Amino acid sequence: MEESFLISRREFLKKISVIAGSTVALASMPWMKVFNEKVYAKSVNDKVRLGFIGIGDRGSALLKNVQVFEKILNVEIAAICDNYEPNYQRAIKFTNGKAKPFYDYRELLALKDLDGVIIATPLTEHCHITLDALDAGLSVFCEKSMARTLDDSKRMYDEHLRTKRILQIGHQRVFSPIYLEAIEKINKGEIGQITHMRGYWHRNGDWRRPVPKGHPELDRVINWRLYNDLSAGLFTELLSHQLQVANWIKQSFPTSVIANGSLIYWKKNREVYDHIACLFSYPDQSQFMYDSINSNKHYGCEEQIIGSKGTMELELNKVYSENPPAPPAILKLINDMEKDVFDTIPIGGASWVPETAVVDKGNYITNNYKMDETKLQLEAFVRYIRNGQAPEELPIQGYYSTVWSLLAEESAKTKERVTLMDKYRI
């Protein structure tokens, strides 16, 4: 596993050195510069000691990703914490009992020689744990979204500024080789002026996780995503990812949002919407149209970047030109002859042809997509810790994607167009 990690990483770093040499590219992704740096404040001989708080599904995935490069990057998973017994036991098993286990995160924060913490708890726990960790002088990697409320999100960001500690929010797409290459192509004008964006995330499932029999009190702990006071549901769990991408592509943040939500399919034991639709406006008057549903998975997940010269489908790693190269003349001739022979001859009927989608297989945005973005974002976190600082653009991206996701929820609830209040601007 380490070997394949090293090979794909080497290829990726080659690409990064090109990015780091380009002022234009670096302006859109300053967080990548750290991969090209050779000198660090904290020596590479000094271990970076991390603590994990919250080892549920996502926390476990993050922990396993760090384990892949633990030796290579001289990292130590020093402590783990979860107050839910099955997760606590599982974390001990994952770390072979080497990491110090805790039920209470405050005890973990009190450990000496810890450099940073990785927080993957339910949404409402993010704020107070992050504040305590920053206060304890630690660097923080916190899973998205930042917090359940605008006030908590702002408090987290302000505390990061006050303590001058690193705060990174888990938006892994900003480290994805596909997205990095896409941004480079966009900067070069390959798809022209970006006039519109569409995003969606469709799943077919109730989002409910099994609760141990005889413990109904654990339902809200395990299924926190389904309750309004604990989560904004699709807004904070899915939209925030893709909204971050839209903001990154536009290099700006929305000016207003109008959204709608409904609970029409999974009505039982659920408070958050199972269908949402949003329309974000940007300063250049372009729009980002978004919807997320829980009753059909046919269209899956995608961000479509629509420009005057082309279209990108980022999840599919595809780029399509508005004027794709003409097919070879001989093939076109054969096609036309086939049509003439086999097509039916219309007699009367509609006098127009429906403008169906252009059939074009397009090209791949990049072939260098083997490197996993979740690993890269965690590697970057380790490198930022060594550096003693991280680019401010990262927490800003995290902050605004959370804030605008929460504002979209507000718009859906109030049925009004919502803008950002000045006190939440950073």
Partner 1 sequence: MKDLVISQKRLKSELFIWTFSFAIAFLLNIYAILKYNNSWLELLTQLHIVLILSLVIYFIFVLIRLLFWPTKFLKNNGPKS
Q: Which residues in this chain contact partner 1 in the complex, by CB under 8 A?
A: 326, 328-334
State the minimum distance, in angstroms, from the CB of residue 327 to partner 1.
9
State the minimum distance, in angstroms, from the CB of residue 332 to partner 1.
5
State the minimum distance, in angstroms, from the CB of residue 318 to partner 1.
24
State the minimum distance, in angstroms, from the CB of residue 366 to partner 1.
26
Q: Find the farthest-apart pair of alpha carbons in the chain and give their distance in angstroms, rounded.
A: 84
Nearer to partner 1, 39 or 326 (CB): 326
Nearer to partner 1, 218 or 331 (CB): 331
Nearer to partner 1, 7 or 331 (CB): 331
State the minimum distance, in angstroms, from the CB of residue 333 to partner 1.
4
Nearer to partner 1, 216 or 328 (CB): 328
d(CA 336, CA 191): 30
d(CA 223, CA 127): 19
State the minimum distance, in angstroms, from the CB of residue 352 to partner 1.
25
Nearer to partner 1, 328 or 349 (CB): 328
Nearer to partner 1, 328 or 348 (CB): 328
